[in-house]
């Protein structure tokens, strides 16, 4: 089992979710970590957040629980290529989200692609986000 599942805060995050969402959360964690085993994981902003080199200021993605769904948030999702329009724009200029209500809605290949894109776009985001944000 992956060491992420041994972290006390991850165990509590999963256990505090609705039973119907626990399986979705576990599978999302597996997919994200398999996408890049170097990702660090911590609870930040009431969500299970993944970052490279513990840089949680520029996090890659996060799992957020709601009453009706489990959401996979991408910090700078607006930088990602989403030809199928699977990412939902949020109030932030950059944040994009995928919503899952059932385990069968998870598509490992699609999620892995978004995580990989986010990792690859991290340097671009860091270099340009302030300027892009000014253009609001």
The per-residue DSSP string of 53-78 comes to GG-GGG--EEEEE-SS-EEEEETTGG
- For 93, the domain range is 3-134
pLDDT band at 130 (very low <50, low <70, confident <90, very high): confident
Number of domains making up the chain = 1
Q: What does the pLDDT read at residue 3?
A: 82
This prediction has a pTM of 0.93
Q: What is the pLDDT of residue 136?
A: 52
pLDDT at position 1 over 70: no
pLDDT of 104 over the 90 cut: yes
Which residues have C-beta within 8 Å of that of residue 111, sequence separation ≥ 6?
28, 31, 32, 35, 72, 98
What confidence tens digit (pLDDT) does each residue in 29-85 have? 999 999 999 999 999 999 999 999 999 999 999 999 999 999 999 999 999 999 999
Q: Which residues of 49-69 are buried (b: 16+ CB within 10 A; e: fewer)?
A: bbbbeeebeebbbbbbbeeeb
pLDDT band at 92 (very low <50, low <70, confident <90, very high): confident
Task: State the CATH number of the domain containing residue 45.
Answer: 3.90.1150.200
Structure tokens at 50: 């993944």
């Amino acid at each position: 089992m992956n060491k992420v599942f041994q972290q006390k805060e991850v165990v509590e995050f999963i256990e505090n979710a609705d039973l119907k969402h626990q399986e979705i959360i576990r599978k999302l964690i597996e997919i994200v970590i398999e996408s890049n085993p170097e990702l660090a994981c911590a609870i930040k902003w009431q969500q299970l957040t993944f970052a490279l080199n513990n840089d949680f200021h520029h996090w890659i993605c996060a799992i957020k629980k709601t009453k009706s769904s489990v959401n996979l948030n991408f910090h700078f999702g607006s930088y990602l290529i989403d030809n199928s329009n699977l990412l939902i724009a949020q109030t932030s200029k950059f944040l994009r989200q995928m919503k899952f209500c059932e385990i069968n809605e998870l598509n490992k290949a699609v999620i892995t692609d978004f995580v990989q894109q986010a990792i690859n776009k991290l340097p671009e985001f860091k270099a340009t986000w302030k300027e892009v944000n000014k253009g609001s």
